[in-house]
Amino acid sequence: MIFVCVCGLIFESFAQTSSSSQNITLKWDNYSLKDTLSGNQRTILYFHDATNLYETGGLPIFIQRIPLKQLSDSIFVKIFPLISGEDNSTDVVSSEFLNNEYQFFIKKLEINGKAYGQVGILPVRIHPIHNKIEVLEKFHLEITVKEQAFQNFPQLKMGTIQSVLSQGEWYKIQIAETGIYKISFETLQSQGINLSGIDPRNIHIHGNGGRVLPEANNMTRYDDLMEMSIYIFGEEDGKFDPGDYILFYAQGPGSWAFNTQTKRFQFDKHPYSDFAYCYITINNSKGKRIQLNPLPEVEATQTITTFTAYIHHEEDLINLGKSGRQWYGESFDIQNTMNFAISLEGVVNGSRVLLESAVVASSYSISNMKISVGETPFLVQTISPIPPPSLDSDYGKRSIDTASFKANSTTVSLSYKYIKPLNSSQAWLDYFTINYQRNLSFSGSQMSFRKPMHYSSTQVVRYKIGNASQNIQIWEVTNALRPMRMQTQLAGNTLTFDSKNDTLREFIAFDGNKFLNPTFIGKVPNQNLHGMIDADYIIISHPDFLSQAQELANIHESENQFNVKIVTPEMVYNEFSSGIQDPSAIRDFMRHLRLSSGNIRKPAYLLLFGDASYDYKDRIQGNTNFVPTYQSDESLNPSYSFATDDYFTFLDQSEGKGGGGTPDLCVGRIPVFTQQQADDYMKKFKQYISVSTTSMGEWRTNLCFVADDEDNNSHLRQADGLANFIDTTYPHFNIDKIFLDAYDQITTPGGQRYPDVNKDITQRIENGLLIINYTGHGGELGWAHERILEISDINSWNNFYKLPLFITATCEFSRYDDPQRVSAGEYVFLNPKGGGIALFTTSRLTYGGSNITLNQNFYKYAFERTNGQYRTLGEIIMIAKQKSGSDLNWIKFILLGDPALKLAYPENKVSALTINNTSIEISTDTLKALSNVSITGEVTDPLSYPLHKFNGTVTTTIFDKVSLIKTKANDPESKPTTFALRKNIIYKGLSEVKNGKFYMNFIVPKDIEYKIGEGKICFYACSDKDDAAGYFAPVYVGGINTNAQIDNTPPSIHLFMNDLNFKDGGITDENSVLLAFISDENGINTVGSGIGHDIVAILDNNSNNPLILNNYYKSDLNTYTSGSIAYPLFNLEEGDHEIRLTAWDVYNNSATSKLKFTVKNSASFIISNLYNYPNPFYDKTYFVFEHNKSSEEMQVEIRIMDIYGRVVKTIAHTIFFTGYCSQPIEWDGASDNGKRLSQGIYIYQLTLTDSKGNARQKSGKLMISKNQ
C-alpha cells in the first residue's frame, strides 16, 4: 500500500486505456469520544460508509474498488476538491497522521483469483495557511486504468496428489536442535520396529527442516515431505545388524540467516514450536545417501582459519498484551540487574564481539537499559515511553540496538541494568545475539562453521581446521536435505579441505564420539491429504472432538449433500509443515485443495473444531491451543495486534504476507475446550436446524438492535440506521430497539447502570430472536460501561429452543484465544441451556467507523436470496468482508459457529388476501377502536405460488402506528435524539391454516390512538414440516366504532408458576416462568399506549418496578377471547413471594389475580411434596413430587420395598422437566417379575439425579388394598 500526497490536488496519468469519473459527496458525522482509561474527551472524524485504516491511525478513508485485467495494470488518480469545510475540534484522534495535503493510496488485491485495484482517499488535511483541520465534503474523482500487455506470470503448480505418507509404515521422530543425529539398530528395535530381513539400503528419512513456513503464497515451499540424504554404517552387506546405525543431519526449530546489510547473522526463533520432526520408513526402494563432494577443479587461492560464530539468547516467558506472536523474557522490576555468563569458545583474541540487543519497557517516561561487559558499560539502550493510558495505548515500547566490545577472554559476564525512571516502570529482555570471530579449531563432538566473505563463482578457498584427528569428518550442509561429505587431508593435527566460494556455505565437523539423539514420537497412520479432492467442507478438529465433528459432518452430508472431510491439525502438519505446528500449514493445505481441485467442486467451507490460544507452545497452565489460530507479528500495539482465522482463507497468489489478504473461503470456529462443551454445542445445533414445533416459532422473524449511549449518540444513529434498513428492505421482520439513552440511568456504588436494559436484553433473548445486534463499547466481560450485559446474565439464559445469532460491533467481546479467561462471547456460545447458535463478533480492539461499514455489508447480503436460496452464515460474512475494503478492522471479526449454517429463516411467504371481506388489492378498511376486524390470507412459496398442502397455524400480529421515542441525554456526551419504533401491539392471535388458507378475527381495543395513521400486520406460520412469514402494510388504524356494544364485565385470570401442575404456595427456583391464562368475551387489551391499561404484574408489592406484559400475551387458537402469558422471572431471592397481575379487556374493564410461591435456590437441590394417589390403591397409583430444578433433564428412580427392606419394584425414567411439579408417574402394583404384589404396607424411595450428577432422595409409604 502506497500513500501519496495530492500535490496541487492532481495526480497526472501518463497513459489511458479506460477511465471513470464521478462526483463524491461525503456525509460527515463526527462525534465525541470519552476515553474510558484517560477520561479525556476526543473527537472522532467520521463520514458515512467510511473505512478506517491503521496506516492512518483509524482516520476515515473513502474506498473505491475497480476491476483489473491483471495485477500489473497501472492505476492513475485525479482528485478535484469541490466543497470543503473546517472542523474546529481541538483534540482529534490520530491528527498526527495528517499533513497539508489530502492523501490517497492505491492498492492491488486479489479475490478468488480476480484482480482489483483499490483507491483510498483520506479526505482530511491540515490547512496550510489556517492550520486547522479541513475536510472534503464533495470532490470529483477520476480513475484511469492503463492495461499492461498480458504477462504470463509463473503459476504455482498443482503439486503432488499423493503424499509419501499414503503407504508404508512411518515413524515420527522429534528434533530438538540442529546437528548430526544417530539412530542405532538397538534404538529402532526398542521402538518395536521389526528389523529382521530388512535391507538397510531401503531405509529412508524424510523431513523439511525446522524453518517457519513462509506466509506469502508466492514464496517457494516444500510440497509434501522431502527425502533427506543420510548415512548408514554397515548397510553394505544388505543387512541391518546389531552395531549398525544411521547418521543424519537435521535442523532444529528456527533458523540462522546472514543479513547482507548489517553483515551479521540473525536468528529467527520458531514462534510456533520448540521442536522439528523427521519421519522414518522402510520400503522396497533404495534411499538417498550422503555423497562425496567432488574436489574443485582449480587450486584454492585463499585460506580460511577463522569463522563467524554466533550465540543467541531468547526466553519466552510473557506476552504483555496476550496477543500476537511476540513473547519476552527476563523481567526487570524489583530486581533491575541481570547477569549472563557467556562462553566465547575459541574467540580470536582482541577481535570485536558484536552484540545485538532487544529490550522492551513499559514506562510513562523515557527509560534506559545499560549493558556492560564485566564492569565496563558499552551500550545504553534508550526506550521510548508508552503514551498515557487509553484503549489503544501500547503495552510497551521496544528498542533494538547494536554495539561491540573487544574480546579479551573466552568467558565474559554480560550485565543488563534497567534504569527505572518511575516506580511503575518495568522492562523485559527480548533477546540478545552475539556474532564473534572464532578460530577454526575443532572442539566438542560437533562443530558448525561458516565464513561470510566476498564471493566469486570461480574462486576456491581452503578451510584449515586445527586440533583435528583422523576421526573427524566434514559435511557440507548448505542444503540441509542433501549433505555432502567433504574430501579432507590431515597433516598432523590440521585438517584441510577445499570448497567453492560462490555462495555462503555451511559446514559441520564431527569426530564420531558423540551424536544427538532424536525422540521417537511413534507410528504415523497412513494419510493422504494431498490426494483429497471433491470436498465441499473441511473440518479440522482436535482429536478430542472427532466424534462431535463426525456427527456434524454426517448432518451436512445428509441435509446439504456436502462432501465433508475431517482431519486433525497433526495430519495437516505431517504433510504441509514436516510435522511442526504452523498455522501456515493449514492455509497451505486449503490452498492445495483449491489448486488441485481443478474444475471439480472446490472447498467452500472450513471449520476449526476446538478452542485456540495466543500461546502456541503451552507455556500457560491449562492452555487451550486445540486448533491454532493465526496471531499477528505485532504484540505491543493493540490497534495492530490481532488473532484471526481468516488467514486460512487467503488463498490467492499475491496474499498471505503479514496475515494480509481477502477471504476466499467461509471459515468458522467451534471454541470448545471440553468434550462436554462439544456435546452441548451439537445438541444446540441439532435443535436449531430441526423441523419441529419446538424449534420453529415467530422468534425467527424478530431482530433486536442494542445501542450504547454517549459518544454524541453515534452508536444509536448507527444501530438505528441498520434497523431502518431492515425495516424498509425486508419488512416481514419485526424490529426491536434497545437504545440505552432511552432508558432511566441510575447511580450505584459501582457506577452508572441501566437495570431495565439488562432485564430487557434477557427478556428478548428468552422470548426468542433471529439476530441480536449490539453497537457500542464493550470488552471481554460484557457490553457498555454500564454493564448492560454481563457473564452472570449470559449464564442465566434458558433459551435452548430459540437461539439467536449475535452480532457485536464492539471491542474484543469474544477474545477466544486467552486460555486464562473465558470471554463473555464464548460464554454466549458455550451456554448449554441457550445463549447463541453463533456469533459474528470481535476478538480485539476495533474502530467504530469500520465496524458499522462491515455491519452494513452484512445486512446487505444476510436476507438476500441467490438462486432462490438464502446464503449461509459463512457466505454472508465472506462477502461482507470482501466488500468492506482492505483494512485490518474486519480481520478482527470472527465467526464462532458453523460457517455452513443457514439462519433459521422462514422459507415461505404469508400474504393477506382480504380485510373485512374486501380484497387488499382494492382497498382496506380503517381499523377502528372496538370494531370487529376479520382477515383472510394464504401461505405461498417464495415465488408466491400457493402451498395447498400447508397445514398448521399462523400467528398474526397487528401493530399500531409507529411511536416516536425521545432519548434522555443521560450523559454529557449524549444529546436528546428521536427515533421511531413500532412497539404497540393491537392484537396478537393464533389461527389455524388449512390447505394453505387461514381466517382470523378480533376486536380492536379501545386504547388505540384515534388519529388515523399507518399500522402494520405481520404473519408467521408453521406446520410440522415448514414455516413462512409475511406482512401487510400499510393498514390504516384510528378512529372508533360508535356502534360498538356495551361491555362492563372484567376478564378472568388464572396464574401458575412454570406449568399447570403448580399449586398456590408451591416451590420454584430463582429463575422461573410466570404463566397467566386470561379470557374475556371481547378480548384482552395489549395496546400499551401509556394510559394505565397495560397488562401489568407487581412482584412483592413493588409497584415502583411494574412488569409490563403486553407483548407477552398470545391469543389461543382460533379465538380472540382467551390467551396466555409466559413471562420469565430471573434471580428471584430465596424465600416467600407473591405476584399480582392485572389485565384489561378491550373495553377497559380490569381484573386482578394473585399467586404465592416459595423460591428454593437451585444450587440447593431439594425434593418436596412427594406423595402417591390414590393411597391406598388396588390396581393403579400415581407418584408425584415437586423440586426446584426446571428446564433440565433428570434421572428419576422409585424403589418400592417391602417391610423387610427388600426391593420388589424399581421404576426408572429419564425426564426433561419443564416445570417444578412432576407429571404423574404410574405404577400398576406389580413387582419387577410382573406378578401382582400382595396387600399390605410398602415403603417407596424416590432418587432424583440432576444433569450434574447431584442426587437427592425422599421416602414415603403406600398401601395396596385387597379390593378395588
Per-residue pLDDT tens for 319-368? 999 999 999 999 999 999 999 999 999 999 999 999 999 999 999 999 99
Distance CA 733, CA 1019 (A): 9
> Which of 79, 278, 90 lies closest to 178, judged by CA?
278
Which among 1245, 1209, 1212, 1213 has a CA at the least distance from the CA of 1229?
1209
- Report CA Rg, the chain: 37
Task: Give yes or no for a cis peptide into 1034 (omega within 30° of 0).
Answer: yes
pLDDT (0 to 100) of residue 98? 84
Cβ–Cβ under 8 Å, residues 511 and 471: yes
DSSP result, 497-561: EEEE-SS--EEEEE-SS--B-PEEEEEE----GGG--S-SEEEEE-GGGHHHHHHHHHHHHHHS-
Q: How confident is the model at residue 695 (pLDDT cuts 50, 70, 90)?
A: confident
Structural contact between residues 958 and 927, judged by C-beta atoms closer than 8 angstroms? yes
Q: What is the pLDDT of residue 132?
A: 84
Q: Quick one: fold of 1052-1159?
A: Immunoglobulin-like (2.60.40)
Which CATH architecture describes the domain 529-659?
3-Layer(aba) Sandwich (3.40)
Look at 57 and 953; give whichever has higher pLDDT.
Answer: 953
Residue 1055, all three cell numbers: 396464574
pLDDT of the residue at 53: 66
List, for residues 443-476, the tens digit of each pLDDT value.
Answer: 999 999 999 998 998 899 999 999 999 999 999 9
Residue 38 has pLDDT above 60, yes or no: no
Overall fold of domain 2-146: Immunoglobulin-like (2.60.40)
Poorest-pLDDT segment among 135-149, 864-878, 1118-1132? 135-149
Confidence at residue 1137, expressed as pLDDT on a 0 to 100 scale: 97
The pLDDT assigned to 15 comes to 43
pLDDT in tens, 992-1047: 999 999 999 999 999 898 999 999 999 999 998 999 999 999 999 999 999 999 99
The pLDDT score that the predictor gives to residue 18 is 80
Region of 738 on the Ramachandran plot (φ > 0 left; ψ -120 to 50 alpha; else beta): beta
pLDDT at 884 > cutoff 60: yes
- 1079: closest CA among 1107, 1049, 1056? 1049
pLDDT of residue 863: 96
| Residue range 1104-1142, pLDDT digits in tens | 889 999 988 989 999 999 999 988 888 899 999 999 999
| Mean pLDDT of all residues in 944-959 | 96
3-state per-residue secondary structure call for 916-977: CCEECCCCCCCEEECCEEEEEEEEECCCCCECCCCCEEEEEEEECCCEEEECCCCCCCCCCC
In which residue are the cell numbers 395489549 written?
1086
Specify the CATH architecture of the domain 908-1036. Sandwich (2.60)
- pLDDT more than 90, % of the chain: 72
Confidence band for 85, pLDDT divided at 50, 70 and 90: confident
DSSP for residue 766: H
Which residues are 737's β-sheet partners? 705
Greater confidence (289 vs 122) lies with 289
Q: What is the pLDDT of residue 158?
A: 53
Among residues 1171, 122, 996, 170, the alpha carbon closest in space to that of 579 is found at: 170
Neighbours of 963 (CB within 10 A): 15
Cis bond upstream, residue 1174 (ω within 30): yes
User: For residues 636 and 396, is the Cβ–Cβ distance under 8 A?
Assistant: yes
> In the prediction, which pLDDT does 54 show?
59
pLDDT at position 389, please? Answer: 85
Query: pLDDT tens digits for 580-620?
Result: 999 999 999 999 999 888 777 889 999 999 999 999 999 99
Q: Answer yes or no: is pLDDT of 1206 > 70.
A: yes
Which residues fall within 8 angstroms of residue 573, CB to CB, at 6 or more apart? 579, 580, 581, 582, 585
Place of cell 388394598: 1265
pLDDT greater than 80 at residue 148: no
Phi-psi region of 868 (alpha: psi -120 to 50; beta: other; left: phi over 0): left
Contact (Cβ atoms closer than 8 angstroms) between residue 1181 and residue 1173: yes
Lowest mean pLDDT, pick from 27-36, 434-443, 730-739, 1067-1076: 27-36
Q: What is the pLDDT of residue 162?
A: 94
Rank 104-108, 306-310, 982-986, 1233-1237 by mean pLDDT and report only the highest. Answer: 306-310
Query: Which pLDDT belongs to residue 94?
Result: 66
Q: What is the pLDDT of residue 1187?
A: 86
Q: What is the pLDDT of residue 112?
A: 80
**2-146 with 1052-1159: one CATH topology?**
yes
Positive or negative CA dihedral for 1083, 1086, 1089, 1093? positive
Question: Could you tell me which residue, 771 or 1093, shows the higher pLDDT?
Answer: 771
The DSSP 8-state label assigned to residue 215 in this structure reads S
Is pLDDT above 90 for 514?
yes
Residues 967, 741: contact at Cβ < 8 Å? yes
Residue whose C-alpha is closest to residue 466's, from 499, 492, 500, 437? 492
Cα–Cα dist 181/172, whole Å: 14
Residue-level pLDDT at 498: 97
In degrees, rounded to 5, the angle at the alpha carbon of residue 319 between the alpha carbons of residues 313 and 323 is 130
Cβ neighbours of residue 707 closer than 8 Å, sequence gap 6 or more: 715, 716, 718, 719, 720, 737, 738, 739, 740, 774, 775, 776
Q: What is the pLDDT of residues 812-838, one digit of tens each?
A: 999 999 999 999 999 999 999 999 999
- Supply the pLDDT for residue 4: 45
pLDDT of residue 83: 86
State which CATH number among 3.65.10.10, 3.30.930.10, 3.40.50.1460, 3.40.50.740 fits the domain covering 673-896.
3.40.50.1460
Percent of the residues in the chain that have a pLDDT greater than 70, as a whole number: 95
Confidence of residue 1 (pLDDT cuts 50, 70, 90): very low
Model confidence at 206: pLDDT above 60: yes
The pTM of the full predicted model, rounded to 2 decimals, is 0.86
pLDDT at residue 89 greater than cutoff 70: no
308-439: CATH number: 2.60.120.260
In the predicted structure, residue 959 carries a pLDDT above the cut 50: yes
Mean pLDDT throughout 509-534? 95
Contact status, residue 354 vs residue 436, Cβ threshold 8 Å: yes
pLDDT digits 0-9 by tens, 1165-1197: 888 888 999 999 988 999 998 888 877 788 999
> Residue 49: pLDDT band by 50, 70, 90 thresholds?
confident
The whole-chain average pLDDT of the chain stands at 91
Q: Is pLDDT at 309 greater than 80 in this prediction?
A: yes
Give the pLDDT band of residue 156 (cuts 50, 70, 90): very low
Give the residue-averaged pLDDT of 183-199: 93
Average pLDDT over residues 384-406: 93
The class (CATH top level) of 1167-1264 is mainly beta
With a cut of 70, say whether residue 887 has pLDDT above it. no
3-state helix, strand, coil in the chain (%, to 5): 15, 40, 45
Q: Where are the domains of the chain?
A: 2-146, 166-291+516-524, 308-439, 529-659, 673-896, 908-1036, 1052-1159, 1167-1264
